[in-house]
Amino acid sequence: MQRSEPAAEVSATMSACRVAPPGFSREQWQELSERGIVILDDALTPDEVARYRDAVDRVCARNPDYVEGKTDYRVSNAVEADPAIAELIDHPRHVGYAYDLYGEMLKVIRSDIFVRPRDTDSNLWHPDSPRAVPYRVFAPELPLRLSIGYWLTDLPRAQMGNFVYLPGSHRDQCLDGYYSHEPAPGEEILRVRAGAMTIYDGNLWHRVEPNRTGVVRKNIFIAYCPSWVCAGDRLLSDPAWLATLNREQRIIMRSYAHPHDYTNPAADDFPLFLERETGADTDAGVPERIPLRLRKRRTAAERLNADVRGGER
Ligand SMILES: O=C(O)CCC(=O)C(=O)O
Taking only the tens place, the pLDDT of each residue in 31-42 is 999 999 999 999
Residue range 50-93, pLDDT digits in tens:
999 999 999 999 999 999 999 999 999 999 999 999 999 999 99
How far apart are the two ends of the chain, measured CA to CA in Å?
A: 32
> How far is the C-alpha of 261 from the C-alpha of 258, rounded, in Å?
6
110 lines ligand 1 (CB under 6 A): no
Task: Tell whether the model's pLDDT for residue 6 goes beyond 50.
Answer: no
CA 51: distance to chain centroid? 20
User: In this structure, are strands 106-116 and 217-226 parallel, antiparallel, or unpaired?
Assistant: antiparallel
> How far is the C-alpha of 279 from the C-alpha of 282, rounded, in Å?
9
Q: How confident is the model at residue 310 (pLDDT cuts 50, 70, 90)?
A: low
Read off the pLDDT of each residue in 247-258 and give the average, rounded to a whole number. 98
* Pocket mutation for ligand 1, best pick of 37, 114, 146 (most atoms within 8 Å of C-beta): 114
164: β partners: 189, 207
pTM of full prediction above 0.85? yes
Distance 208 CA to ligand 1 centre (A): 7
Q: What per-residue confidence (pLDDT) applies to 306?
A: 84
Task: Tell whether the model's pLDDT for residue 121 goes beyond 90.
Answer: no
Domain boundaries, the chain: 25-257
Residue range 178-189, pLDDT digits in tens:
999 999 999 999
206 lines ligand 1 (CB under 6 A): yes
Tell the residue nearest (CA) to atom 2 of ligand 1.
163
Read off the pLDDT of each residue in 246-266 and give the average, rounded to a whole number. 98
25-257: which CATH number, 3.40.710.10, 2.60.120.620, 3.30.390.30, 3.30.300.30? Answer: 2.60.120.620
Whole-number Cα distances in Å, 124 to 72, 210, 242: 15, 10, 34
Q: What per-residue confidence (pLDDT) applies to 289?
A: 97
Residue range 125-178, pLDDT digits in tens:
999 989 999 999 999 999 999 999 999 999 999 999 999 999 999 999 999 999
Read off the pLDDT of each residue in 13-19 and give the average, rounded to a whole number. 77
Q: What's at 196, amino acid-wise?
A: A
What mean pLDDT is reported for the chain?
Answer: 94
Q: How confident is the model at residue 1 (pLDDT cuts 50, 70, 90)?
A: very low
200 lines ligand 1 (CB under 6 A): no
